[in-house]
Amino acid sequence: EGVATGVVYDSYRAGKEEGKSSTGHALPAPSAFGPFPMNAFFGPGDATLEEMISSTERGLYVTRFHYTRPVEPTQVVVTGMTRDGTFLIENGKIAYPVKNLRFTQSYLEALNQVDMIGKELRLLAGMGGIGGTLQPALKLGGFSFTGATEF
Q: pLDDT digit string (tens) for 23-66?
A: 877 777 667 777 777 777 889 999 999 999 999 999 999 999 99
Given a cut of 70, is residue 1 above it in pLDDT? no
List Cβ neighbours of 96 (8 Å cut-off, separation of 6 or more). 87, 88
Q: What pLDDT shows up at residue 24?
A: 79
Q: What region does 93 belong to: left with phi over 0, alpha with psi -120 to 50, or beta?
A: beta
More confidently predicted of 134 and 6: 134
pLDDT at 30: 67
Condensed to tens digits (0 to 9), the pLDDT of residues 126-137 reads 767 777 888 999
Whole-model pTM over 0.75: yes
**Rounded CA separation 100/118 (Å):** 23
Q: Please report which confidence band the pLDDT of residue 2 belongs to, taking 50, 70 and 90 as the band edges.
A: low
For 77-111, what is each residue's pLDDT tens digit?
999 999 999 999 999 999 999 999 999 999 889 99
List the one residue out of 76, 48, 54, 73 whose CA is nearest residue 144: 76
Confidence of residue 5 (pLDDT cuts 50, 70, 90): low
